[in-house]
């Protein structure tokens, strides 16, 4: 479990350090409104990795805590699905502000 979380955190770090410069189908935050415009794309590529790193970092910390206490770490895994949905909701709210205000 820890290996998976470290890999996911590392991938989100790569997304942060090397953001996708233009919309594509292979790399970067792809969901929801990210491809509406170039402004949406840039904001999504700048913000989504932060949310993902927070999710994976928290999950890793929870996993470590549960393992040191002798509990099953399935709870940290169970956190990933609602956490991913939360990242999607937060990103869509952020991108909808771009629609309303014209800028972030």
**pLDDT(22) > 80:** yes
13 CB neighbour count, 10 Å cutoff: 14
Residue 100 DSSP symbol: H
pLDDT at 29 over 70: yes
How confident is the model at residue 57, as a pLDDT? 94
**Pick from 54, 53, 73: nearest CA to 64:** 73
Segment 60-80 shows an average pLDDT of 86
pLDDT of residue 15: 94
pLDDT of residue 102: 67
What are the structural domain ranges in the chain? 2-20+34-101
pTM of the model: 0.86
CA quadruple 39, 45, 50, 55: dihedral positive or negative?
positive
Tens of pLDDT, residues 48-68? 999 999 999 999 998 999 889
Give me the mean pLDDT over the 11-35 stretch: 91
Taking residues 10-36, report their average pLDDT.
Answer: 91
């Amino acid at each position: 479990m820890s290996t998976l979380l470290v890999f996911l955190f590392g991938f989100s770090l790569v997304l942060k350090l090397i953001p996708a410069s233009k919309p594509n189908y292979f790399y970067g935050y792809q969901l929801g409104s990210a491809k509406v415009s170039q402004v949406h794309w840039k904001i999504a590529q700048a913000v989504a990795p932060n949310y993902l790193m927070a999710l994976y970092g928290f999950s890793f910390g929870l996993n470590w805590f549960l393992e040191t206490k002798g509990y099953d770490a399935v709870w940290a895994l169970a956190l990933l699905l609602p956490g991913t949905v939360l990242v999607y909701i937060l990103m869509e709210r952020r991108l909808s502000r771009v629609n309303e205000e014209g800028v972030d």
